[in-house]
Structures are given as C-alpha cells and as structure tokens.
Amino acid sequence: MPFDSGTLPRMTQQDALYRAVCEHPDEDTPRLIFADWLEETGDARRAAFIRTQIELARVPEHDPLWAKCRRGDPNAIRGWAMAHTLPALPDGFSWRSFQFRRGFPWHAALTSVEGLLKRGDQLFAAAPIQSLEVDADCSLMQSVAYASGSYCALADCTHLERLTRLAFNHTRFGKAAMHQLGHSPFAAKLTQLSFEGHAIETEGLAALAASPVFARLKRFELHRAALPPALAMDALAAAPAASLRMLSLSDCKFPAPDVAHLLALPVAEGITSLDVSRNPLHSEGVEALAGSRVLRGLEHLDLSGTFPGVPGVWALAKSGSLGNLRRLNLAANRLGPTAVQHLCEAEDLRGLRMLDLSRNPIGAAGARALVECPQLDGLVELDLRGCELPVASAAKLEARFAVLRA
C-alpha cells in the first residue's frame, strides 16, 4: 500500500523514512515504504531498483529472476546507476567499492581506527551498513586506549554488534588477535568473514577456526591467501562441523592433495556452496571432489580455472552426486567438446539452473551436445561468453537456452 505522505515537508519525510531504514537494517518494510515515497515524489527508477533488489534477496542466486536481471537489467544487481544516492560518510570511512543490498548501500571501507571508535554512530546513521572492509593501512588490531583499559579495538568495539560481515585485506592477523575477535561478546551477528592476501596468518586461522564466532558463520572466504596449503588445511581442521554453508578458497594456490584433505574435514560437512576457483586442482583434485560426500550436498560449485580436463569432468558426470546442484561454473578451463559431451551424459543434472562454460573452446560439437541434452531442460542461464562459436551453433543454442554471449 502506498505510503501516506501527510502534510510533512518533503525533506522531513525523506529524512524520517531513511532514518527508519538505517535503524532497522534487517527489515524490508521500511525500505518498501521508502520506495513508495520515492515513487510518489517522482523517482520511480530508484523505487523500482529498491523493490527489485528486495525480491532478489528473497530468492537464491540460481532463481530465474537473477538470470533475467543479468540479461536485461544488470544494474538491478550491481547498483552502479545508483552511485548518486550514496550519502557522505564520516571521516575514517569510504565507499571504496560500493555494494548495494536490498536497495541501499550496505558495505563500507574502514580507513582509520579513530573513525570506528569515535564516529561509528555517524556511519550507521548515514547508511544501513552491515559489512565493513578493513583497509590494509588500518592497524585495527593494535592495542589502543579505549574506555578504562587497553583493548583490541575491533573485538571490544560495541559497533561490531551492527555488523554481519567483516572483510580484511593484508592486515596479518595472528593468533592473539584472532582469538580476541573469535571470542568477542559483540560479534553475535557476524555470519560472514573474508580474508584476502596476507590478511591472516596460519596460527590466526587456527585460532579463529576453533572460536565461537567461526562456529556461527554461514560464509567464510579466503582469497589469494598467502598461506602454506598444508598448514592452512591443518588450521581449518580445528573447526568442528558447524553452521557453515558457503566456503570460498579462491585463488589460494591450493593443490589437489590439500583440497582432498579439506573435503574430509568436519568444516566442509554441511556446506551447500563451494568455490575453489583458480586453484591447481587438475583432474586429480576434481576426481577427489567427485568421490566425496561433500558433492552430494552442493547447490553451487565453482571450478573455474581449476583445469579438471576430460577425466575430471567425466568423474563429475559419473559421480551420481549432482542431484542438488543448481549452479555450476566451469569457466576458463580449456574444455573442448569431449568434456562437454561427458558433462551432458550426467543423468542427475535436471536440477541445474545455471551453467557457466565461458572461455572454453567447446566448438560446434560441444554446442550440439548441449542442445541435444535432455538433462538441461531446467537451465535458465547458459554462459558461453568467449567461446567463439560458429554462427549456426550459437543460433541453435539461443533457440533453446537463455544464453549469455556478450
């Protein structure tokens, strides 16, 4: 139902409605009321953007709505056209890589510890922020004078209570710092943690994995981690079977034996999304995945840049464990028509909704296998960008599937 604007001045209405969004970041109702007000006052484009993003947040990423937006309205996902709506942030924060969720910016970069300690309230009043990226130059974990004693600035900051996600870049967290963060009384809402590059040391990862915070996580990401693979797996072995649903270890240079070790750990037992892209798995690592119990529970699997070869794809196809899979990414693997033909022989692919074969030389024979594969009847998106297909083959694919080729 449209919002009744009443007799309040326009700016007062906007301020009050926006304040409600910031004060209740988990709720959709204030956002929808704000969208109604925007439409009534002439900004139908932004109103539609908010509503679409709320719809996207309510369905999994393999839903046809995501595919429809990617093809026809990618801004509904990226939010680039809404950059003009970003509010000014207080000192110590920036919009380095802005991200919208449910119609509003939710992610900011922290550039100074002083900003967090002294101006955190201003940040959360400026936008419904629930995710913070810690800048490489921001020495958050050094001891600082705060309140009546010396505390770890992040773990003992009450503003942590407002966050569901933290991302760290090149900050070199060790055992003591991660123990403090992992046992912080203010981290009860954290469900996502991300570390990039040198952000965490091996002992720090082990301390975090054994902590109460890690046991509550839904999503954990290591990207380009500068960790010895075997030691990283040993560190993750400290984590019990927990509530983790999404595990990303992208571009970490983890070889096949260590990924095979990971798949046998309790931390991997309940995951439904696995990203091991750009790791040197080759056929050995993908064959280990195909034979693991983990594969049976996966809905999303990213194997881009892992070079499984024909043996690896054949092992996946014959595993009998793809029944729950909804998204499969095999991009940039130098896969030819034989690998595609093997994939199409999998008898349990009927649940697949999104298949990414971009940047693979699948050729006319691979395209024909896709067109003739009855198991792909449920596919809502087929990514073939960079495959350089013959015109006739591309036309046949586009007659059957929603194809991304641009």
pLDDT tens profile 108-144: 998 877 788 889 999 999 999 999 998 755 544 443 3
- Assign domain 86-244 to a CATH class: alpha beta
Considering the entire predicted model, what is its pTM? Answer: 0.91
- The pLDDT assigned to 219 comes to 97
Please give the share of the chain, as a percent, with pLDDT higher than 70.
92
- For residue 33, pLDDT over 60 is answered with yes
pLDDT one-digit tens code per residue, 164-187:
999 998 777 889 889 999 999 999
pLDDT one-digit tens code per residue, 193-219:
999 998 899 999 999 999 999 999 999
Exposure string of 281-315, with b = 16+ CB inside 10 Å and e = fewer, is bbbbbbbbbbebebbebbbbbbbbbbbbbebbbbb
- The pLDDT assigned to 344 comes to 97
Question: Who contacts 220 (Cβ-Cβ below 8 Å, separation ≥6)?
Answer: 192, 193, 194, 214, 244, 246, 247, 248
- The pLDDT assigned to 137 comes to 56
Taking residues 141-162, report their average pLDDT. Answer: 59
Which part of the chain has CATH 3.80.10.10?
267-406
End-to-end CA distance of the chain: 39
146 class by beta-carbon count within 10 Å (0-12 exposed, 13-18 middle, 19+ buried) = middle
- The pLDDT assigned to 3 comes to 42
What CATH topology corresponds to 267-406?
3.80.10
Residue type (1 letter), 130? Q
pLDDT one-digit tens code per residue, 219-275:
999 999 989 999 999 999 988 876 899 999 999 999 999 999 999 999 999 999 999
With H, G, I as helix, E, B as strand and everything else as coil, classify residue 173. strand
